[in-house]
Amino acid sequence: MANRYNVEAVKSRTNYMDPRGSAPVIVSAILEQGAITVTAKNTVGYKGQRLGMPSMTFATEFDIDVVNRGDQFIQIATDGEGTSSYTYEACQGKPVVSKVSGTGGVAGTLLTYGSALMADPASTTAANSITKRVTGKYYAVEAVKLFGMEYHPVKVLVSGEASIAPGDFLTYDVSADEWVKDADGTMVMSCHYATADDLYVGALFGPRFAVSQA
């Protein structure tokens, strides 16, 4: 049986402090920063890293000044390694976001940056793939603002598709009482992978995202 995580648990209380109907979708999201290089133990605190623990650098770094002024745009991350690791279950209901690149589109902005990783990799090799980072929880969870009206889990029917991937659009199938992939594009977008029927994905309801180019 597929688990359905409480979507309220990944929302910031900021959502409920704004009485306007146009309050932003603010959620806790996994920040994909690429391969992690683990070096000597650090002697000063830096970006949430604990004293005496291995120092880490990331393939993709963010500028905290850009984040603080609200200009760090993000996209829904896709698994370029072809492993479909960003599943709703593996990510415990949280979307995965990364810095905008190529034609990935603009999904929102990064609100916080520099949180400690959920777990620290013992070596560079331990975190040199997406699968290893998701399984080992070698990632930070940050607050993000998504450009949409609602983030909500939905159960999907893969049908004849190989899978549903982050960025795929979804349509509600009334007869099946589940959501299916829609090649034409709708106002509902999957934020996770699903490779079998009756699995949940986090879905963002709202206007289509802005496009980006390389």
* Structural domain total, the chain: 1
Q: Is residue 26 part of a domain?
A: yes
> What's the pLDDT tens digit per position in 188-204?
889 999 999 999 999 98
Residue 114 lies in a domain: yes
Would 43 be classed as within a structural domain?
Answer: yes
48-82: pLDDT as tens digits: 555 556 688 899 989 999 999 888 999 999 888 88
104 found inside a domain: yes
Low-confidence ranges of the chain (pLDDT < 50): 16-22
- For residue 94, the model assigns a pLDDT of 94
How high is the pLDDT of residue 21?
Answer: 40
Residue 1 lies in a domain: no
Domain residues for 162? 7-205
What's the half-sphere exposure (Cβ side, CA atoms, 13 Å) at 176? 15
3-state secondary structure of 72: coil
**148 found inside a domain:** yes
C-alpha of 120 from chain center: 19
- Within-domain flag for 214: no
60: which 2 tokens? 């993709």
pLDDT of residue 17: 47
